[in-house]
Amino acid sequence: MIPAYVILLLLLALSAVAYMLGRNRAFAVAGGPAGLRHLHSRPGYYGALTALWCFGPAIIVFALWQASEGGVITGLVVSHLPPEVQALPPDRLGLVVNDVKNLVGGNILSGDPSPELRKAADEFIRLRVYSRVLLLGVCAMLAAGGLLLSRKGITPQLRARNKVERLVKWLLIACSMLAIFTTVGIILSVLFEAIRFFKIIPVQDFLFGLEWSPQMAIREDQVGGSGAFGAVPVFVGTALISIIAMVVAVPIGLMAAIYMSEYASRKFRATAKPLMEILAGIPTVVYGFFAALTVAPIVRDWGSAVGLSVSSESGLVAGLVMGIMIIPFVSSLSDDVINAVPQSLRDGALALGSTSSETVRKVVLPAALPGIVGSVLLAMSRAIGETMIVVMAAGLSANLTLNPFETVTTVTVQIVTLLIGDQEFDSPKTLAAFALGLVLFLVTLCLNIFALHVVRKYREQYE
């Protein structure tokens, strides 16, 4: 078995050789260092071109091979299985193939391996070795061929620089296209699974149903496993926690931003601002732990002291801690927009006799309002999509309630709980997670686009 990275390293080494050969060849066709001015490009470009021809085709074949190898080998192994096994329905056949793979990997099997299975596993291993040797051979041939051909083609007139640069530019374009591919990948992967879900559960039942209990009955006679997929309680829980978080984060963040930009001395600002930004850099799993183990007991004790019964996993605690996490998002974005308000507006208001706070409230804030709204919307989208805090502090049961002292659940919590553990991939329970993911993606996408639009439009106003 030849590991993939060995082939890769080999290709890289060969390309380095190709670079040297190409460069030397360029010197040779130019007739030594004195003749370099006859060359169209500098010698390094001839080397680079040779190296690219050596590396490029081989790596493309390598990537395609890697991607298709597993499927082809599995297909071949299956076609050599006894006909009665091949005649099994697809999902049973999949189990057999899995057993073969487990046997190859030395993992635990679902039962004792039969002789056919052992034979198949041996064949699997044999084919894999063949495939690797073949791959190595093909890659080496392509690399060597590319090297020799392009080296032969080196003449003083060859426009090596232009060729190399065109290629590099296409590479750069491909890299920036990755953002589009990622978005398309998200949309397609989430959408396809969600559509499969909506074939089982109608969209309107999902969006407007009032009961959420995704447990499906495994046996016919099971009680309480009917599976209800009305997502309203989940949406309400998400909204409740996000609103609590915003109630905490917006006033604190906004006031902090105002103080930082209007009142604070340079020295105070230089220490306080990075300290506040640490809040944004702390992993959310740490906040979750903090919420569940430190804040929740405190809130529960205070609640019982004034006669309120606070559930140990309450929306209040999750929202509170999430609000703290979001403070720096609100404050640093608001800080930017407040700083962008021209000094002349402040000077005008102060000259008319306003105090600083009146200037801020009546002139600066209204001028900065669109930008602040944008930053609040961005923070909101972060609160809706936040996962770890709510997973650890908010709870699992989907109560349709607006009482922050009770346990509520959110979209992200449900996605996590539905997808952790082993489920088959066509049960509505698993697919429901993707439907929730689709809603989450769309909602946050709209919020983001709108917020970015508002922020950007506002920023250009004074320029």
Q: How many residues bind another protein (CB under 8 A)?
A: 88
CB of 326 to another protein, least distance (A): 11
Q: Are the C-beta atoms of residues 301 and 335 closer than 8 Å to each other?
A: no
Closer CB to another protein, 387 or 403, in the complex: 387
Q: Is 346 in the site for another protein (CB under 8 A)?
A: no
CB of 419 to another protein, least distance (A): 6
Task: List all residues 6 or more positions away from 299 whose beta carbon is below 8 Å from its beta carbon.
Answer: 310, 314, 316, 317, 320
Using the rule CB under 8 A, which residue among 452, 457, 461, 462 binds another protein? 452
According to CB under 8 A, which residues from 224 to 263 bind another protein?
251-256, 258-260, 262-263
Report residue 3 as tokens: 């590991």
Using the rule CB under 8 A, which residue among 279, 345, 350, 373 binds another protein? 279
Kindly calculate the radius of gyration of the chain based on its CA atoms and give it in whole angstroms: 31
Sign for the CA dihedral angle at 297, 302, 304, 310 comes to negative
CB of 275 to another protein, least distance (A): 6
Using the rule CB under 8 A, which residue among 59, 324, 341, 454 binds another protein? 324
Phi, then psi, of 360 in degrees rounded to 5 = -65, -50
According to CB under 8 A, which residues from 105 to 144 bind another protein?
none
Q: Is 433 in the site for another protein (CB under 8 A)?
A: yes
At 64, is the secondary structure helix, strand, or coil?
Answer: helix
According to CB under 8 A, which residues from 173 to 212 bind another protein?
173, 175-180, 182-183, 185-186, 189-190, 192-193
Closer CB to another protein, 35 or 251, in the complex: 251
Query: Which uninterrupted H or E stretch holds 213?
Result: strand 212-213
Q: How far apart are CA 26 and CA 9, in angstroms?
A: 26
Alpha-helical runs (H) found in 201-283: 203-208, 232-258, 266-281
At 152, is the secondary structure helix, strand, or coil?
Answer: helix
Residue located via tokens 């923070």: 379
Q: Is 327 in the site for another protein (CB under 8 A)?
A: yes
Closer CB to another protein, 147 or 375, in the complex: 375
Sign for the CA dihedral angle at 372, 377, 380, 381 comes to negative
According to CB under 8 A, which residues from 66 to 85 bind another protein?
67, 70
Q: Pattern 358-397, binding to another protein, x per CB under 8 A?
A: x-xx----------------x--xx-xxxxx--xx-----
